[in-house]
Structure 1
Amino acid sequence: MTAPTAPALPFRDPQLPLGKRIDDLLGRLTLDEKISFLHQFVPAVERLGIAAFRTGQEALHGVAWMGPATVFPQAVGLGATWNPELVRRVGDAVSKEVRAMRARDDRVGLNVWSPTVNLLRHPLWGRNEEGYSEDPKLTSAIATAYTHGLRGDHPVYWRTAPVLKHWLAHNNETRRDTTSSSVRPRVLHEYDLRAFRETVEAGAVAGVMPAYNLVNGRPNHVSPYLAGQLRTWTEEELLVCSDAGAPSNLVDSEHYFDTHEEATAAALRAGVDSFTDHGSDPARITARVKGAYDKGLLTEADIDTAVRRQLSVRFRLGEFDGWDEPGAFDTPDHRALAREAAEQAIVLLRNDGVLPLAPDTRIAVVGLLADECKLDWYSGTLLHRSTPLEGLYERFGAERVEFAEGVDRIRLRTSAGAFLRVPDAPDAPDEARGAEGALDPALLAGRTDLPPLTADATGSELALVDWGGDVLTLRAPDGRYLSVAEDGYVRASADQPGGWVVQETFRLEPHGNGHLLKHLGTGRPVCVAADGVKVAASDDDEPEVFTVVVSERGEDAVARVAARADVVVVVAGNDPHINGRETEDRTTLRLPAHQERLLRAARTANERTVLTLVSAYPYAVEASRCAAVLWTAHGGQAAGTALARVLAGDVSPAGRLPQTWYADDADLPDLLDYDVIGARQTYLYFEGRPLFPFGHGLSYTSFGYTDLEVRAGDDTLRVSFSVTNTGRVAADEVAQLYGRAADPSVPRPRRELLAHRRVTLAPGATKRLTFEVPLSALEFWDVAQNRWRLEPGPYELLAGASSEDVRLRTTVTPAGEPGAPRPVRERGLDAAAFDEQSGTEIVDRTRTAGDAVTPAADGTAELVYRACDFGTGVGEVRAEVAGEGTVEVSLDGGPALAVLTCDRRGGVYDYTAVTAAFSAEGVHDVRLRLRGPLRLAHVGFSG
């Protein structure tokens, strides 16, 4: 007789509603098991047949950190395509590679931490490469497409579960875990929240990751906006995963809480569901949660809420139904898509007719990135690679292309008269050799069995690459980078600079009659010892003083080949691991001096110079002195082939700038100024003349715009116009629609992207484009009423090829809702709800909720509140303040009518009410002057 089969547990029954399945599983877990689910590395629950789970798999532009994978252009390059459908296909390919890689390596996670939707408001941001655009509309369009691709197209199950990064108002890497972004309500709602909101509302987001920084004085990991905003945008359960180490930062670097139990409890209650801390060891996090629970800082219901959100994601991934979708890895389609994305990301910034290049053109290819295919921190390992030089060899023939890298060739002479020598690479096993038997430098990285550098009478000629900011790299004659391993010896053991702490960067510091060679990874100078060259182990070690002997200047080699060519292609830009990356902001928009010298040498030798910038961010360059200028982000495995095809005219460039390119550092606000309205940041508000505007990009053909038509509905504007290819080359055009309030009552954007579309047109072809624009797109956040409001018109609609290249315009006048004075007698004034300010910083009113305002560094500040209605009259003003100082109240720019003094010396959250006589009636502008280290939360009026 066959034994009866035990019935499946209800949580494994796919016919039950998802909520009931989660309830059933949650009810079967013990408290300790549920607590164990709160760490990034979730253990298996064998008694229930539940496997281990890990939140977090980096997949920003391909599967990262898990070995070979298809590498697509950087995120900012995907933003430059202005093509959501292409980006959706990239996300689809990445999610298939995640599934395929997981099938052979269970370390690969299905909860992917991408895309990054932080807005590129400041071009010196080190992580510029990770975002899509400075514009929230374009960012959300590209991010929504990528998340839909990552989610997959199954009606029930998700191929991967995307998590958006980094919530909220996060740009700077400088002191990123301790700086606070001061974000006024209008900037919060109209700018920072918007990119997240529109992506979440599109329905393919599994969660978000809070950022390291603070917003208005409060760490993002205890942000009230997680509950008050994020989780109101969707009925789906959203999983909030902490950034790495951020839970500990709440105590260790931010000092926001006194104990880790308090911090952990506060983060969990605020909405953090998975703690990424202390690597794969969950012991400290689980101990903190248990400690918080034992002290009554958490309830089991709080823990259940977080576990429920994680289980919701795991159910959607099909884990408990045995669902899995076969993946695809490095397919011909993925390789073709990588090339297509790289081609569409290239932006032609300037062209005086030198491009496209004729087939018989003799080309000099020069520059530090001319024979490079750079990877960034969030790249996978290249399966295929294509450099600009290789692409041009392939397209034009090696006989028509001449190369000069432009590096300085040097020898380093010791004080004893010897020279540094790089030993020959030792014999390597077959697996360390390429297809033709050549030693693969990538397989030498991190090895400590390689011989260190020595010194002898002849030494080795080294390639010195100056990346700017006194940062340089040194290469051996065979291309290996000098690197420092854990034992402190200097070896030629890396194929590229890389790693969380880069071990391949140095600095030459003047010292006496020579230079110290300082290793930047350790901060110590290089010594020459009997057993080899190494970094000083302590201050007692005698550093070597080197003389730099130059064999050849890079600009001389560039000038030589440039003079023999018909056209010079200078490939300049950045290494994504140096001078601008995660943990490091840039200090200038300028090209490094070494690269400017190479560009100048090329232009002097040959006026037909094409500057190709391959970079993770914008530069300020003298574009008018070049015959043509192109830009592309680091384009992944097909970057070189894509660039060659564009230069040759096989593909007409149609990428568009996703952010403003400023002409000078003086155009930029402070790196920590997050007030895009007050600081007039981004194309939305910038009033100067940019080097290249947002949305800019040229083509090898021309386009005409005609027949703009608008039909207004109750809630929507239906905007149509025609685009015609008026040239002789088939090409893509990116048609852009902007709007602006023509006569606003408050500062509004100069123009704001409402919609766009990338279309392909044959010569002479016309396409009619129609956009459905909700009237809500014209609203602004009314701080007086604390909500969105559509102000009555007029509004201009602008259609064209960039934010500044407007071809068609018309005006619409929606009825809207007239503004009203602030009813300050009834509601008073929330301090942060100002119309204008100077010298202020927004800070946290309490640790859990609310904003207050405090003077910035010099201790004085001013706030202006327009059109305040005092009704039939008031006789008293009351300020809710903490700290010491004064609040002066005046009307309409006049003298102070009341002075409120606070001298209470309690904590920053120890508020008190201070009153003074104050007489006003009718409608006036209120001006508050703050003096001293106080916090103002609210001002009320009565009697």
Structure 2
Amino acid sequence: MGTESVPVVDRLPFRDPALPTRKRIDDLLARLTPDERLAMLHQYSPAVPRLGLGAFRTGTEALHGVAWLGPATVFPQAVGLGATWDEELVRRVAEATSIELRAFHHHRPPPVGTGATSLQAWAPVLNLLRDPRWGRNEEGYSEDPVHTARLGTAFCRGLAGEHHRFLRTAPVLKHFLAYNNENDRCVTSSGLRPRVLQEYDLAAFRPVVASGAVTGAMAAYNLVNGRPCHVTPLIETELRRWTDQELFVVSDAEAPSNLVDPEHYFEDHAESHAAALRAGIDSFTDHGQDSATPVGRLREALDRGLIDQSDVDRAVRRQLKIRFRLGEFDPELDPYATIGPEVVDCPEHRALALRAATESVVLLRNNGLLPLRSRRIALIGPLADAVCEDWYSGTLPYEVSVADGLGVAVVDGSDRVALRSRTSGELLGKTAFDVHDWGDGVLTLRSAETGRYLSLHDTSLAADQELIKSWEVRETFRLVPAGDSVLLQNVLTGRYAVVDPVTGRVGVTAETADAAEHWERELLRDGTAEALAAAASADVAVVVLGNHPLIHGRETEDREGIALPSSQDALLRAVAGVREDTVLVVMSSYPYAVDWADEHLPAVVWTSHGGQETGTALAAVLLGEADPGGRLPQTWYRGGDALPHPLDYDVIKAGWTYQYHRAAPLYPFGHGLSYAEFAFRDLVLSSGTLTPNSAVDVSVTLANTGTRAGSEVVQLYVRALNARYEAPLVRLADFRKVALAPGEVRVLHFRVATGQLAHWDVATGAFTTDPGDYELLVARSAQDVVLTAPLTVAGPAPVPRDGADRRLLAVDFDDHDGATITDATRASGDAITPAGAAATLCFRTVDLCGAVSVDVEVACATSDPGGRVEFWSGSAPLAEIPVPATGDRYSWTTVTAALPAPLEGVHDLRVVLHGDVRLAAFTFTTAG
């Protein structure tokens, strides 16, 4: 065929695969009109037929399998993948997910008008599991940044593929940054002092981005230090600085609109969208498929001069780069274009789902009861015959429950009741219901005849839902006692059921209990009594308890505590009272305080919601057909251990995670038992001394000394001794999962570099490894240390902080009391303000020699007679500076005060803020 018959558009330079991608993007961008470029900033980028461009949509959820597109292989929740501690396994899970996503992209039609299924995969989630009460705990890998980064990198490599030019899918990291609470998430601020920012939250993202396996990131809903993440300068100053690859940064859903309402951070949407674009947001996920509204706001921003064409073009270039790498413009060269529909839930992926589910099971306690040797098992509990989907699960192609895996009957422990209206005399739903209590009085009611959930439809009720999986959960209720009757209240709306006295129809419309219908509750089956009878007639009881992923702890809702639901706890204790050999299986998205079970039961097991093969995996572990290969990815705290406030993101001062929590946990980070027996020996270091920018080679011998095969996770921790800063108790430096046959011995090799011992030095604004004494620890968990070796870092001693004629940022404190970190301006900078009446900042070993005065950079929106900043050296006052009203929280002024006498030497400085004062920085000046 001659070239004259080839469509003109196919001969344009951007269609030429021989040209460098940069030149192809330049050519295509130049051919797009300004309006076409602007339209590409929305999540739903429209087609441009005249250039042969198809529609493009950002984002397909792919956290533990392809989600929301129909049946696809469902792997364990991310926290379960974290429990595997197996990078290669996690990479293979992501690879399978990306292969299936390719199949959906090529062969499964998406919803009308949305364009092809996006090959931009919104995964993995790198947010650290700081607080086990986080509603989205299931989405993260770990409370530790090293562990999270390693698994996150593996997942990204699996999604992206190995081709040098083309991506299988384009991984997008979620959610940047410091996002670990759901309640009021769009208006709460995560306060990050520099050490926490650099050593903890950024540390989970930095290695993943630096690996080159990442193509983008999603900004988080929350604020950091008073500034919304969608306008944080950290996108440019940190995230994009870690790589020479372009990152395509997307917004979270509706977050651009949130900048005005509910956050009220900007006056209008044109201003807010312009700020987000300038801060580095390249794609606006807002208003669903309605692109007119967000694009209109951006057009207004252009017209007002808040952004210019180069800002738009920069974002469009980043999108086009991804599209080229995904093979959109070179289908004949794309190595992944031939993936067929048969890969979805194929036998290989089913086997991988089973392996992942098995490797994620954690044996928390075992006095010898496991593995089970008896087949007379009483299987009890609300999750014994259930496989749950979470919000980001794919649709289960099939499901294997624990009952299916063990091949035994189930007693779920639920009461069966009939609810009869006192007005009409009719049964609610004309059926009996099995009542499951999920804690705090929140119930689900399932028809005894059909097994379907009672659900709210507008104001009517019907027992017609096979699955609880919707953004607004309409299947939860309360049975509120009212004398000798009960009231039926829907949890979502808070309204009560009423019965029309004429028609007998039930509507959920009553705003108050006084107007509600009274129902007679008739107990048809005592679930606990049935469970006790089953336990008494068996050799062993297996009680499966935990959470439903969409009830109590989910996106938009944090848990209030970590205790098991009281009804579940009561069921467990009752069963254990009649059957001493009772195994507790916790199936959950997060940790529980199971102190009683640990003290009284012979065995405790945990699994996340493990996907389609949950029951097969658990049965294999319980029966000893597989070794429990999982280890905890986060600390399980004790029930009596008061946890810090959910919004206290200062892991150092609050005492979060194994690094800083000083009370003994119930089960530590990294904990997990095996049926095999392992011995550690011969910890050898190539040198006992490190110098700056050097490394030490570490070897340790692991032996399987038992009679059966198993796996161990060798965990290498570091610890600073006699540190001048508040150092972690221990900190994970490396890990390796090793499977050994009986009698097998293996020597494992690690390398520990000086930087792995570093902390963020607020005095220098950089990572620093202090000279001094350290320890390397080989451990089975953060608290089960088996071998230690001393290590010395050589080098000059740290010098005092230079504080004379040098601007010191208020946020660079060594310690604080009552301080809140907030934004200095809408665009950049941090400031300190009191959380209450006063705040104290501590700056240790500051050299103030020759200082005669101090300048403070302050703001105070309104006149505050008590507003002042005080400086102290130990107990000696240095200066007291009244702060004038500046008219606005972002209007800054500098106030100077003379010191009583010139200062000499090094001081431990205290800065005390009183009143509605904001302090950005201060400078001690000398006479010169």
The equivalent residue for 1:645 is: 620
Aligned counterpart in structure 2 of residue 215 of structure 1, from 202, 224, 238: 224
1:71 pairs with 2:79: no
Alignment of 1:40-79 (within 5 A): 40-79=43-82
Cα distance between partner residues in 2 of 1:555 and 1:839: 49
Indicate the residue corresponding to 1:441 in structure 2: none
Q: How far 1:106 sits from its partner (Å)?
A: 4.5
Partner of residue 422, structure 2: 415
Between 1:150-159 and 1:630-639, the stretch displaced more is 150-159
Matched letter for residue 549 of structure 1? E
Inter-partner Cα distance in structure 1 for 2:672 and 2:161: 32
Counterpart among 21, 25, 45 of residue 24 in structure 2: 21
**Which residue of the other structure, out of 611, 620, 629, is the alignment partner of 2:604?**
629
Residue 354 of structure 1 aligns with which residue? 369
| 1:30 paired residue number | 33
What secondary structure does 1:536 align onto?
strand
CA deviations on 1:879-900 (whole Å, 9 max, x unpaired) are: 4333445344343430433111
Letter in 1 for 2:419: L
CA contact (8 A) 1:790 1:817 kept: no
Are 2:911 and 1:932 equivalent residues in the alignment? no
Show the counterpart of 1:404.
411
1:838 aligns with 2:817: yes
Conserved? CA contact 2:696–2:751, under 8 Å: yes
Match of 1:656 among 620, 631, 635: 631
Q: Secondary structure at the match of 1:652?
A: coil
1:903 Cα shift?
2.8
1:343 and 2:350 aligned: no
Report the Cα offset of residue 720 of structure 1. Answer: 0.7
Instruction: Give 1:806 shift.
Output: 0.9
1:196 aligns with 2:205: yes
Q: Aligned residues: percent identity?
A: 50
For 2:3 and 2:205, the matched residues in 1 are separated by 54
Q: Which of the numbers 550, 575, 582 marks the counterpart of 1:602?
A: 575
Q: Which moved more, 1:326-335 or 1:383-392?
A: 326-335
* Match in the other structure for 1:872: 850
Compared CA separation, residues 57 and 2, structure 1 to 2 (3 A):
closer
Q: TM-score, normalization: structure 2?
A: 0.95
Aligned residue among 326, 333, 352 for 2:338:
326
Which stretch shows the higher mean deviation, 167-176 or 769-778? 769-778
Unmatched 5+ stretches in structure 1 = 394-400, 422-452, 454-458
User: Which one is further off, 128-137 or 735-744?
Assistant: 735-744
1:377 paired to 2:371? no
Q: Which residue does 1:463 correspond to in 2?
A: 434
**Is 1:923 aligned to residue 898 of structure 2?**
no
1:86 lines up with 2:61 in the alignment: no
Cα distance in 2 between the residues matched to 1:776 and 1:236: 24
State the partner residue of 1:428.
none
1:862 aligns with 2:805: no
Which of 107, 110, 127 aligns to 2:136? It is 127
CA contact (8 A) 1:419 1:460 kept: no
Q: Deviations over 1:718-743 (max 9, x none)?
A: 11101001111100111110001112
Aligned to 1:187: 196
1:367 matched to 2:381? The reply is yes
The whole-number CA distance in structure 2 between the counterparts of 1:234 and 1:8 is 34
- Equivalent position of 1:226 in the other structure: 235
Correspondence for 1:894? 875
How far apart are the structure 2 equivalents of 1:39 and 1:873? 54
Note the C-alpha offset of 1:541. Answer: 11
Whole-Å Cα distance in 2 between the matches of residues 876 and 538 of structure 1? 60
- Give the secondary structure class of the aligned counterpart of 1:794: strand
What residue identity is the alignment partner of 2:851?
Answer: G
Contact 1:589 1:665 in 2 (8 A): no
For residues 884 and 873 of structure 2, the distance between their equivalents in structure 1, rounded to whole angstroms, comes to 28
Q: Is the 8 A contact 1:879 1:915 kept in 2?
A: no
Residues 536 and 542 in structure 1, CA contact (< 8 A), matched pair in contact too: no
CA deviations 1:399-450 (Å, max 9, x no partner) are xx442110011111222372424xxxxxxxxxxxxxxxxxxxxxxxxxxxxx
Alignment pair present for 1:580 and 2:548: no
Asked if the contact 1:705/1:800 (under 8 Å) is kept, the reply is no
Residues of 1 paired with 2:761 and 2:48: CA distance?
A: 51
Q: 1:479 to 1:662 in 2, by over 3 A?
A: farther
Contact 2:680 2:701 in 1 (8 A): yes
Instruction: Say if 1:100 and 1:876 are closer, same or farther in 2 by CA, change over 3 A.
Output: closer
Deviates more, 1:327-336 or 1:217-226: 327-336
In structure 2, C-alpha distance between the alignment counterparts of 1:609 and 1:876, rounded to whole Å: 68
- Which stretch of the first structure deviates more once superposed, 612-621 or 924-933? 924-933
Between 1:218-227 and 1:149-158, the stretch displaced more is: 149-158
SS in 2 for 1:667: coil
Q: Which amino acid aligns with 1:865?
A: F
Structure 1 position 717, deviation (Å): 1.9
Amino acid at match of 1:481: R
Partner of 1:556: 529
Question: For residues 842 and 665 of structure 1, what CA distance do their matches in structure 2 show?
Answer: 30
Distance 1:629 1:484 in 2: 34
Give the partner amino acid of 1:628.
Answer: A
2:114 corresponds to: none
2:122 and 2:171 in contact (8 A); partners too: yes
Aligned with 2:497: secondary structure?
strand
Q: SS where residue 586 of structure 2 aligns?
A: strand
How far apart in 2 are the matches of 1:495 and 1:285?
37
Q: Secondary structure of 1:244's match?
A: coil
What is aligned with 2:113? none
Secondary structure of the equivalent of 1:575? Answer: coil
Q: CA shift at 1:16, angstroms?
A: 1.6
Preserved contact between residue 718 and residue 773 of structure 1 (Cα < 8 Å): yes
The answer to whether residue 726 in structure 2 is matched with residue 726 in structure 1 is no
Amino acid in the other structure paired with 1:385: E
1:650 is paired with a residue of what secondary structure? Answer: coil
Secondary structure of 2:653's partner? coil
Q: Distance in 1 between matches of 2:181 and 2:384?
A: 30
Match of 1:264 among 273, 276, 279: 273
Alignment-mate amino acid for residue 98 of structure 2: S
User: Is 1:878–1:914's contact at 8 Å kept on the other side of the alignment?
Assistant: yes
Counterpart amino acid of 1:47?
Answer: R
Shift of 1:499: 0.5
Q: Is the 8 A contact 1:99 1:326 kept in 2?
A: no
Tell me how far 1:817 sits from its aligned partner: 5.3
Aligned pair in 2 of structure 1 residues 36, 340: CA closer, same or farther (>3 Å)? same
Q: Does 2:753 match 1:746?
A: no
Q: Measure how far apart 1:929 and its partner are.
A: 1.1
Helix, strand or coil: the match of 1:903?
Answer: coil
What is the CA–CA distance in structure 1 between the aligned matches of 2:760 and 2:790, rounded to whole Å? Answer: 22
Match of 1:813 among 782, 792, 798: 792
CA contact (8 A) 1:657 1:693 kept: yes
Structure 1 residue aligned with 2:668: 693
Structure 2 CA distance, aligned partners of 1:667 and 1:121? 14
Number of equivalences: 898
**3-state SS of 2:22 partner:** helix
CA contact (8 A) 2:859 2:886 kept: no
- 1:289-323 per-residue CA deviation (whole Å, 9 max, x = no partner) reads 10000000010000001111111111111111112
Q: Is the 8 A contact 1:891 1:924 kept in 2?
A: no
Q: Write the distance in 2 (CA, Å) between the matches of 1:841 and 1:673.
A: 10
With the length of structure 1 as denominator, give the TM-score of the two structures: 0.93
How much has 1:132 moved relative to structure 2? 0.2
Partner deviation per Cα, 1:650-709 (whole Å, 9 max, x = no partner): 111120000000002533110100000011110011110100000000011211001111
Instruction: Kindly state the Cα deviation for residue 814 of structure 1 after the two structures are TM-superposed.
Output: 2.1
Q: Which residue of 2 aligns with 1:913?
A: 894
The alignment partner of 1:319 has SS state of coil
Shift of 1:479: 4.2
Give the Cα–Cα distance (whole angstroms) in 1 for the partners of residues 286 and 682 of structure 2: 57
Runs (5+) with no aligned partner, structure 2: 111-116
Instruction: Look up the match of 1:392.
Output: 406
